[in-house]
Amino acid sequence: MSHDKFGLWQLGVTHVLNASHGKLCCKGTDDFYGTTVKYYGVPANDLPTFDLTPFFYPAAEFIHQALATEGKLLVHCAVGVSRSAALVLAYLMIHHQMSLLSAIQHVQKKRWIFPNRGFLRQLISLDQTLQKGKLSISNQANQCILTLDNHTSTKPTENTRGLYLDPGTCSCLSLSSPTQVWQKGAEQTQAGRESQQTHIMSSHKQSQELGRIKQLETILDSCTLELTAVDEVWPGLYIGNVAVAQNKNALCKLGITHVLNAAHSKQGSIGDQRFYGDTCVYFGIPAEDSENFDLSQYFKPAAEFIHAALKAKDGKVLVHCIMGMSRSASLVVAYLMLHQQLRPGAGAQLTQTIRLPTESHGPVVHSEHRPHGHKHTCPEGQADQLYKSGIMTCVNKSRYRNPYAAVRVDPNSDYITPGTLDLEQLFWSGSAPDYTHVDEVWPNIYIGDEKTALEVEALREMGITHVLNAAEGKFNNVLTGASYYSDSDIQYLGVEADDKPTFNMSQYFCSSTLFIHEALRSPHHKVLVHCVMGRSRSATLVLAYLMSKHNLTVVDAIEHVRQRRCILPNHGFLKQLRALDITLQEERLQLNSCKVNEDQQT
């Protein structure tokens, strides 16, 4: 949701608080949202050991200021269950004087949440600090009232309105800004943490705290709201994310009897047999969501667990990881191959029609089904032979379909087309120029924004002869058209594209590339390619042109343009550019092969 700027616009969201800033699957920054949305990032890990308390007051202040402007705020993390929920609870406690229990009950009416135990412990500490502060303030307020009663001639002044009473003293501080509140609260929180670090809690106090955490978890688990991030991909076999796996009420309604956690003991995953008790049979696999991780060692035990579960009376299995897209999907495909005699492509196709796996787990050589599930590996040094013999064809096709996999098209080349997430990382690494209205990114090719496109006289002064509008249309687009430039000699091409990851921009790669290429046949011609901000749609079309007509790889094209302009194509456009990169390499490889054959014949 946080990556869907169109969806945010429809909701009227004006502020975004990202509780997983800089983490995997998270792309939010000020640059990503532009000027339409105010952004604040909290680089939190969803680990019980992570200290979220330094962010309680700044995040609460950001939320408070956003709502004070009658704005709408989205607070999110990867799943929207733990980190983001903890920050919202802290805000309700700090700015709405709710107890932790009241805050949880309030949020539960709208959404199922489940902060990890570490965050619950920190929220309990915040709750205790705030409650002590209220009692102290109440006592001091009574003293102030008595003082005023004893001095009836004293009139209220500005310094006695909106007081912040320091619980540790009898002094009164004027509340000149909300910043003083969170600074004071942050000092109290820091002091509380230092005190906890220097005094070891007694076993009795630890037992009390653990008891309260368990009570809160019981309350959290009693929420009747359900998450929909789960799909039945085979009779009785479900793939879901960690939020569903931790919602025991939802699992009960689905009739889940067995849980296979493909992210056992990993960041963001709290499941084990103790968590599920007698309600579900649990099996954990400590898999990393990394291309370098060998998941094949778990294919057979995972498949056996699923097979035995589905043979049991009324057996239903949930296979999950963090996002329910990669590790879990891979294990389900392996089960379908081993126990349902589905071919690799058929198994993947079945799950993809219902739920799309994402991350790659490194090169896997798909073999024919073996009843005993033997592991087949590619001997080192034989990769070239496999490519030449065509054995890798099915592997390549499978990996090309996976937009997150790195792919080497030419076995004799060092170049590897990165996965989409790796492409995104290019925009976060190194320095980039500041945002401007227009920049020349290639000789006689300019990328600009709406303001640039609307100023016809300025375009004449720049020598622009051709305009490619990548945002033609009525919504979130630039309303120009060929008639807008009719009084000038500017030639125009309009592309009706939405800046959404789901939009198929690749359908315009050919026409826009030809338009730019034909325009630049004359050395005196200059082309402006623009959209609303000049960062996503227009940049994507220019990148496609450089790749198609100047033989740049997608990596080289991105690096070249981003050194000259602040660009950021959306996630979906990067997927399409990656696919174009692979297609162009295949065409060049085939062309070179034909040339070699011709040379040999002559």
Whether the Cβ atoms of residue 427 and residue 481 lie closer than 8 Å to each other: no
Where is pLDDT greater, at 99 or 169? Answer: 99
- Average pLDDT on 18-40 reads 70
d(CA 31, CA 533): 11
- Higher pLDDT among residues 395 and 489, named by residue: 489
What confidence tens digit (pLDDT) does each residue in 508-546 have?
999 999 999 999 999 999 999 999 999 999 999 999 999
What domains sit in the chain, N to C, each tagged with a CATH number?
1-154+185-225 (3.90.190.10), 230-401 (3.90.190.10), 423-589 (3.90.190.10)
* Mean pLDDT of the 401-407 span: 72
pLDDT digits (tens, 9 = 90+) for 221-279: 666 654 446 778 888 999 988 878 888 888 988 999 999 999 888 766 667 888 888 88
Best CA proximity match to 269, nearest among 466, 116, 401: 116
41 has which bridge partners? Answer: 18
> Tens digits of per-residue pLDDT, 495-507?
999 888 888 999 9
Exposed/middle/buried for residue 461 (C-beta within 10 Å: 0-12, 13-18, 19+): exposed
More confident residue, 417 or 384: 417
What mean pLDDT do residues 539-561 have?
96
Alpha-carbon distance of 492 to 490, in angstroms, equals 6
Q: For residue 80, which of 7, 25, 139, 155 has the smallest C-alpha distance?
A: 25
Lowest model confidence (mean pLDDT) among 8-12, 180-184, 442-446: 180-184
pLDDT computed for residue 378 by the predictor: 33
Q: Is pLDDT larger for residue 151 or for residue 88? A: 88
- Assess whether pLDDT exceeds 60 at residue 36: yes
pLDDT at 243: 75
Is 50 exceeded by the pLDDT of residue 420? yes
Q: What is the pLDDT of residues 256-272, one digit of tens each?
A: 999 999 988 876 666 78
Q: 280: which 2 tokens?
A: 């579900």
Range with the largest mean pLDDT of 383-397, 472-486, 551-565 = 551-565
- 76-98: per-residue pLDDT in tens? 887 778 899 999 999 999 999 99
Q: Is the pLDDT of residue 121 over 80?
A: yes
pLDDT of residue 293: 86
pLDDT at 403: 73
| 399 has pLDDT over 70 | no
Share of the chain above pLDDT 70, in %: 70
Confidence of residue 384 (pLDDT cuts 50, 70, 90): very low
Which residues lie closer than 8 Å to 56 by C-beta, 6 or more apart?
Answer: 87, 90, 94, 122, 126, 185, 189
Would you name the residues annotated as active-site residues? 531
Check residue 219 and give left, alpha or beta (phi > 0: left; psi -120 to 50: alpha).
Answer: alpha
For 321-360, write each residue's pLDDT tens digit. 877 778 898 999 899 888 887 755 455 555 554 454 443 3
DSSP string, 109-146: TT------HHHHHHHHHHHHHHHHHHHHHHHHHHHHHH
Residue 303: pLDDT band with limits 50, 70, 90? very high
Mean pLDDT, residues 102-118 taken together? 85
Asked if residue 459 has pLDDT above 70, the reply is yes
Q: Which pLDDT band holds residue 376 (cuts at 50, 70, 90)?
A: very low
In this structure, of 338-347, 465-474, 574-583, the range with the lowest mean pLDDT score is: 338-347
Work out the mean pLDDT of the chain and round it to a whole number.
76
